[in-house]
Structure 1
Amino acid sequence: MDKFPIIETKRLILREVTKDDAEDMFTYLSEPDVVKHMGLEPYRTVKDVFGEIEWYESIVREGSGMRWGITLKESGKVIGSCGFLNRSPKHYRAEVGFELSKAYWGKGIAAEALEAVMKFGFRHLELERIEALIEPANLPSQKLVEKTGFMKEGLLRHYEYTCGKFDDLYMYSILKEDI
């Protein structure tokens, strides 16, 4: 892909984020409730967000992922992100991740973005399997992926080490044939 793909849904435009979006992104990446299940400490400055944006750019460059900024059509404001990481083209799979500003929780926006990103992955990245790794305490994300058709496969014990502790993660997946 030469150009970063733009995905449009009923209410959203999913697009590449730039440093110009850092202030919008800081709004949600500095919220403890948003980042507590992401293995991150809340960001302290807008400048900290530049590292997140650079990570988004690096995974596209490496071919290991792609992260879209979730923007509202009406304002163009970035209110979250959704996309793929740990992509394995050889095995036709990738992990999906997402976060959304707390002000927009409960409005179906995360589901709308997730479904659009999944469709893109199955159609354009030729994925066969999309995985979601979710902390057991993150019930809203579990409900979201289950509602979107993911199946819980099991618990990965002490799967990640973040913020000075080992985290258990539930493994969820959806296959191309499931949608």
Structure 2
Amino acid sequence: MISNGSIYLLPLEKENLQQLQQWRNSNDFRKYFREFKELSMDHQERWFTKIQSLHSNDFMFGIYDKKNSELIGACGLCSVHWIYRNADLSFYIGKDSLYADPLYAKDTVLSLIKFAFNDLNLEKIWCEIYENDEKKINILSQIGFSKEGFLRHSSYKNGKYINSFYFGILKNDTIKSEDNHLNKD
């Protein structure tokens, strides 16, 4: 179990798939995701089988509220590149359509950073965020991610092209949290 602040992370279970499908198909969330069509349960099950493979380079977790042990979202380190020592960060809070709130989401990202750098010995975490995703942009900036790149017209959503930002954080960067550093406990 990975734990930080208000949340803890556990590997996703098959029983989580229906809830994840509902959250990911929500119109409020889909505008921020890469998928261009609704996800079927068959798609969810094939994805789950892939990430459970011994050869998977994805570490996906359910996000649980410490107060009541309720599943509130999903997150992960995707496409881990073991030679370059980096991974793509993914997170969202599905409960109550919070998406990327300042409490649960921030605690989630800090947990993944700690896991990536201390347990997996990665050098960098990066993520692609659409320009309209102000909540995630704010959270990543508050934590200490740097805006590293810009892709024009990288996606087509709701009848218009939108741009993407690439954010990254290195193992030696200062993590902006309550204690202003990444604990190694």
| TM bracket (short chain) | 0.7 to 0.9
Residue 4 of structure 2 is matched in structure 1 by 9
| Whole-angstrom distance in 2 between the partners of 1:145 and 1:43 | 27
CA contact (8 A) 2:128 2:167 kept: yes
| Whole-angstrom distance in 2 between the partners of 1:51 and 1:63 | 13
User: In 2 relative to 1, CA 9–88 (structure 1 residues): closer, same or farther, beyond 3 Å?
Assistant: same
CA contact (8 A) 2:155 2:162 kept: yes
2:130 is aligned with 1:135: yes
1:76-115 matched pairs, under 5 angstroms: 76-101=69-94, 103=96, 105=98, 106-115=101-110
Counterpart residue type for residue 97 of structure 1 = S
User: In 2 relative to 1, CA 149–17 (structure 1 residues): closer, same or farther, beyond 3 Å?
Assistant: same
The Cα shift of 1:37 comes to 1.2
CA contact (8 A) 1:25 1:79 kept: no
Counterpart residue type for residue 82 of structure 2 = P
CA contact (8 A) 1:24 1:79 kept: no
Question: Which 4+ residue blocks in structure 1 deviate beyond 4 angstroms?
Answer: 41-48, 158-167
Residue 32 of structure 1 is matched in structure 2 by 27
CA contact (8 A) 1:93 1:131 kept: yes
The Cα shift of 1:175 comes to 0.8
Measured against aligned partners, the alpha-carbon deviations of 1:95-152 in whole angstroms (never above 9, x if no partner) come to 1111111516235101101101111100011111111111111111111111111000
User: In 2 relative to 1, CA 54–88 (structure 1 residues): closer, same or farther, beyond 3 Å?
Assistant: same
2:36 is aligned with 1:67: no
TM-score of the aligned structures, taking structure 1 as reference length: 0.81
Aligned residues: 172
Q: What runs of 5+ residues in structure 1 fail to find an aligned partner?
A: 1-5
The share of aligned pairs that are identical, in percent, is 23
User: In 2 relative to 1, CA 163–90 (structure 1 residues): closer, same or farther, beyond 3 Å?
Assistant: farther
Secondary structure of 1:143 counterpart: helix
CA contact (8 A) 2:4 2:110 kept: no
Looking at secondary structure, tell me which structure has more helix per residue.
Answer: 1
Secondary structure of 1:177 counterpart: coil
Aligned-residue CA RMSD (Å) = 2.8
**Which residue of the other structure, out of 173, 176, 179, is the alignment partner of 2:171?**
176
Residue 149 of structure 1 is matched in structure 2 by 144
Secondary structure of 1:91 counterpart: coil
